[in-house]
Amino acid sequence: MNWKTLLAGAAVGFATSYATKEIISRNYSISSDRVLKLVKAAFKEQGPISGSWINMQKEPYETANSTHLIYRGGITRLNEGINQSYEFLADSKTGDLLDIYEI
């Protein structure tokens, strides 16, 4: 086997694997169930949760700097005997909370 052929094959293999990794990482998103678990864990730090929901369809959300694909969901928790409901917007790629507001 020729060294040039071996190096060319290795270079093509490396380039293909790098391109595949980049394509997959751009299109990757966390499942809605995983995002809901992350949000619930954040809310549980401030008290017990009595209910939660999440829309499984991603939707576009524009901020001042960029557009994100987000999951929309809600959390209900008991605070001093009163149910408080919150709606949240979470980034579908990272699970980070982008917005939370009381309903």
R_g of the chain, CA atoms, integer Å: 21
What is the model's pLDDT at position 94?
Answer: 85
CATH number belonging to domain 31-102: 3.10.450.40
Q: Where are the domains of the chain?
A: 1-29, 31-102
In 28-79, where does DSSP find H-type helix?
32-44
Report whether 70 contacts 91 (CB < 8 A): yes
Number of neighbouring beta carbons within 10 Å of residue 10: 10
Over 90: is that where the pLDDT of 87 sits? yes
pLDDT of 36? 92
Q: Please state the pTM of the whole predicted model.
A: 0.69
